[in-house]
Amino acid sequence: MDLAEKRREVRKKLRKMEGLPTLPPIVQKLNTMIEDERVSIQQIAEVIERDQVITTKVLRLANSAFYGFPKKVSTVQNALMLLGINVIKVLITTSSIFEILHKEDVGLWEHSIGVAACAKIIAEKIELKDPQEIATAGLLHDLGRVIQKVGFKEEYEALLKAVEQGEDPLEAEMQIFGINHAEIGAFLMRQWSLPDRLIESVGSHHAIEKAKQFRKESAVIHLADVLVNARGYGKTIRKTVPFMNEKVFKLLKLDFLDIKEIYVKLEPKLYELKFFTEELRKELEASEV
């Protein structure tokens, strides 16, 4: 099979979501409600409260160290107002994906929330609009990896083997899948009708020149990914720091001193997050016994 064919195959499978988690009806209902401008936050909160699992997730996210609100958030409505509808939409849509998170995936989860925290710091520094949405893009940027693992087991094994033998993961996955994890993630996010800003910054995080409308956002995720990798926080399948596109400096108007400042701000955030992921790791270990 040539690369173009492989690519088509992967897309076909993604379209059918074969072997991939599908969205429960309540999530679909919530997504339609969120799109509808006539629906109030209170009405959305009421629907969420009818679902124990989603309620728990929303409250846990709102109370996690990631957001660092000083007081406990105890109602869904407050969580919706504090986090914003977009964050909640992403959370409920992707929760079925992260549900399949296993103990061995905590490293990727850690990497993702590290990138989210870093992307938010960069977005605030360069005064990009809605830094929280950029953080969400950071959280989801490697979603394609989760999809590769659960939806394409054989190919994923081959990828791990190639990386083990010293190949660059981006090149290896092009050979094996004909499409990289960034594009796979974006493809699925489009199917779920997530906002374009999120889709493009995830889809182009390894090739910012491909971004059309949201190149700066893509550059932020690209830079955050490299910085968190270089810091050694979390664990992905890669063994080396990804190649950094130096155009990000010009595009985001940053220099090396700014990078130093970003790291200074990032460090305490990572420290806090470590507690959160340690808890998650323990929970997963307990549930897998």
**Which residues sit at the interface with Fe ion, rule CB under 5 A?**
142, 225
Q: How far is the CB of 238 from Fe ion (least distance, A)?
A: 8
Number of C-beta neighbours around residue 69 at 10 A: 15
Task: List CB contacts of 64: < 8 A, sequence separation 6 or more.
Answer: 276
Q: How many CA atoms lie within 13 A of 146 on its CB side?
A: 27
Q: How far is the CB of 234 from Fe ion (least distance, A)?
A: 9
Q: Which is nearer to Fe ion, 51 or 142 (CB)?
A: 142
Name which of 88, 197, 210, 103 is nearest 141 in CA terms.
Answer: 197
Q: Which is nearer to Fe ion, 105 or 225 (CB)?
A: 225
Q: Which is nearer to Fe ion, 33 or 174 (CB)?
A: 174
Q: How far is the CB of 88 from Fe ion (least distance, A)?
A: 23
Q: Which is nearer to Fe ion, 92 or 233 (CB)?
A: 233
Q: How far is the CB of 165 from Fe ion (least distance, A)?
A: 20
Name which of 117, 218, 235, 240 is nearest 171 in CA terms.
Answer: 240
Residue 109 and residue 114: Cα distance in Å, rounded?
A: 8
Q: How far is the CB of 204 from Fe ion (least distance, A)?
A: 11
Instruction: Give the tokens for residue 150.
Output: 């659960």
Instruction: Return the amino acid letter for 147.
Output: I
Q: Which is nearer to Fe ion, 91 or 116 (CB)?
A: 116
